[in-house]
Each structure stands twice: as structure tokens, then as C-alpha cells.
């Protein structure tokens, strides 16, 4: 038994197996904020560390300052990442960490991927 869905391209009703409905429910848990490999890398690093400084993140991901900054800004806008600025020997140092909201969203995203793969 399945679910009947309207196919717009064919203009007909089609019988959709229950498995497809399950996949659709799993896909709802994927977060667009993590679709980009750089944001996925940022969150992967931040979820397993208390904090990481900008330079270390840049070297880890092998990307430019501007590229990293724009992705961090996007994650901050989603309230998934926060930062603390300080000076060490008169040099600026910015540390980034994942927020509770960010950790929860990332774990939900990864769990959805794992469910799709199983």
C-alpha cells in the first residue's frame, strides 16, 4: 500500500510507496545551512572542540580569509556559531564556538544523513 501523489509533470495521480514518504520525512531534517562543504567543515570542527581560532580554522579548511569570514557570518546569522574577540600581545585573536542551537541542528542534520544511508 502507498500514498497517492499528484504528478505535476505527468498530470496524473501516482501511487507513492510508503518508503518514499519516510525519505521525505528524513529530508525535512536536513539543514540548508550545512549544505556547503565549508560550513559542514566549520561545524564539524566546532562541535568536537570547545572553540577554535580563525587562523586555525582557515588552515584546517584550507580556504581564504574572506571565504571563511563569509561562511562564519552566515552561520552566526543562523545563531549556530558565536565568536569572542580578544588581543594576545596586541594582536587580535578571534575564537569561534558552536552554540547549543548550532550543535543540536548539526547533530540533527548528520543523523538525517545517516538515516538516508542506512
**Domain coordinates of the chain in residue numbers?**
1-30, 33-117
Which of the pair, 114 or 10, is modelled with greater confidence?
A: 114
70-87, pLDDT tens digit by residue? 999 999 999 999 999 999
Tell me what pLDDT residue 28 has. Answer: 85
CATH architecture of 33-117: Orthogonal Bundle (1.10)
Tell me what pLDDT residue 18 has. Answer: 65
Characterize 7-45 residue by residue with b for buried, 16 or more Cβ atoms within 10 angstroms of its Cβ, and e for exposed.
Answer: eeeeeeeeeeeeeeeeeeeeeeeebebbeeebbbbbbbb
Q: Is the pTM of this model over 0.75?
A: yes
Which of the pair, 12 or 90, is modelled with greater confidence?
A: 90
Tell me what pLDDT residue 22 has. Answer: 75
Amino acid at each position: 500500500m502507498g500514498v497517492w501523489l499528484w504528478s505535476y509533470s505527468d498530470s496524473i495521480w501516482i501511487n507513492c510507496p510508503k518508503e518514499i514518504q519516510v525519505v521525505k520525512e528524513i529530508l525535512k531534517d536536513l539543514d540548508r545551512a550545512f549544505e556547503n562543504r565549508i560550513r559542514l567543515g566549520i561545524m564539524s570542527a566546532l562541535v568536537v572542540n570547545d572553540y577554535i581560532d580563525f587562523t586555525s580554522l582557515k588552515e584546517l579548511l584550507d580556504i581564504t580569509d574572506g571565504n571563511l569570514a563569509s561562511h562564519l557570518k552566515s552561520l552566526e546569522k543562523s545563531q549556530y556559531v558565536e565568536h569572542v574577540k580578544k588581543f594576545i600581545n596586541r594582536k587580535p585573536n578571534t575564537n569561534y564556538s558552536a552554540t547549543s542551537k548550532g550543535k543540536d541542528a548539526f547533530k540533527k542534520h548528520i543523523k538525517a544523513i545517516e538515516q538516508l544511508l542506512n
